[in-house]
Structure 1
């Protein structure tokens, strides 16, 4: 059974060094989702990834023409992606869950907090890939998510980290 490989990133904030490294490391990728805060470099994400790419506007994407949210049907799943700041994701995921349910989505992608999470709940998968540029979680490693989706709709996923290459003198 063929599986689709989906790369999920967010909060690159105009610095794409780690994004390029991850794209090279993970290829081939069938789809790319970027949950906002690209800051004017969305064309690199949309056209430089070599696969269909979906990008939403974050709270720092002032001048582009990115949509604030997208909804995509993929296999048996409806994916809802937003940056998350309009749903108060820094405080709670309750508003985001309610909105996703109202839209009939069972996979939700968001960013904004710069902290990765991947929750497989009873009726929904909720994920935040963290930030490839300015991580805020305890280990402070740049993070992203790789999802695999089978034709029957089975989804598996993993938070992955970009290791720091610190060289001592």
Structure 2
């Protein structure tokens, strides 16, 4: 299973369209918020055979998207959120704690426009994967390269993550 993970496109969709064309085929597209009204176009670009999961960002003012999603990706229980309700611009600690308390294996977020990937291992607890694909439109990390992430579930059922930059 191949999943394209993006965030913070802010209706500047040229890079997203290019990435979608370059990474096809994929089974699922996850958008972690701030599509700013491009939801229907993104669904059309993804096509009918692709599962689309999107959440509400802090700039999605007139959207009917959900604030967060709880879904299974293979054997992984994933929390999808934009992240602003968890103050991820300051720290991932609140999101990390909430994801652990609610039994998630993966917490995906956007909002910061900075790529982030961490496997949180605590003694006596299961691993928690935290990730942010960064932004395809307005990157804020050093070098300011637009970014996205690919998640692949192998035959062994294990997830592998690959960060990509334009």
Tell me the TM-score normalised to structure 2 length.
Answer: 0.92
| Partner in structure 2 of residue 20 of structure 1 | 17
What are the within-5 Å matches in structure 2 for residues 152-163 of structure 1?
Answer: 152-162=156-166
Q: How far apart are 1:24 and its partner, in Å?
A: 0.5
Aligned length: 159
| Partner in structure 2 of residue 167 of structure 1 | none
1:107 maps onto 2:111 in alignment: no
Cα distance between partner residues in 2 of 1:21 and 1:120: 29
| Partner in structure 2 of residue 56 of structure 1 | 55
What are the within-5 Å matches in structure 2 for residues 5-44 of structure 1?
Answer: 5-44=2-41
Please say if residues 46 and 54 of structure 1, whose CA atoms lie closer than 8 Å, have aligned partners that are also in contact.
no
Please say if residues 17 and 45 of structure 2, whose CA atoms lie closer than 8 Å, have aligned partners that are also in contact.
no
Match of 2:61, SS state, is coil
Tell me the TM-score normalised to structure 1 length.
Answer: 0.90
1:150 maps onto 2:147 in alignment: no
Q: How far apart are 1:37 and its partner, in Å?
A: 0.2
Query: CA RMSD for the aligned pairs?
Result: 1.1
Q: Compare 135-144 and 45-54 and name the one that shifted more.
A: 45-54
| Partner in structure 1 of residue 124 of structure 2 | none
Cα distance between partner residues in 1 of 2:140 and 2:8: 11
Match of 2:42, SS state, is helix
What are the within-5 Å matches in structure 2 for residues 134-149 of structure 1?
Answer: 134-149=138-153
Deviation per CA, 1:51-94, whole angstroms, max 9, x where unpaired? Answer: 11100000000101000000111221101010000000011111
Match of 1:132, SS state, is coil
Please say if residues 46 and 55 of structure 1, whose CA atoms lie closer than 8 Å, have aligned partners that are also in contact.
no
Cα distance between partner residues in 2 of 1:102 and 1:153: 24
Please say if residues 36 and 55 of structure 1, whose CA atoms lie closer than 8 Å, have aligned partners that are also in contact.
yes
For structure 2, the 5+ residue unaligned runs are 122-126
For structure 1, the 5+ residue unaligned runs are 163-169
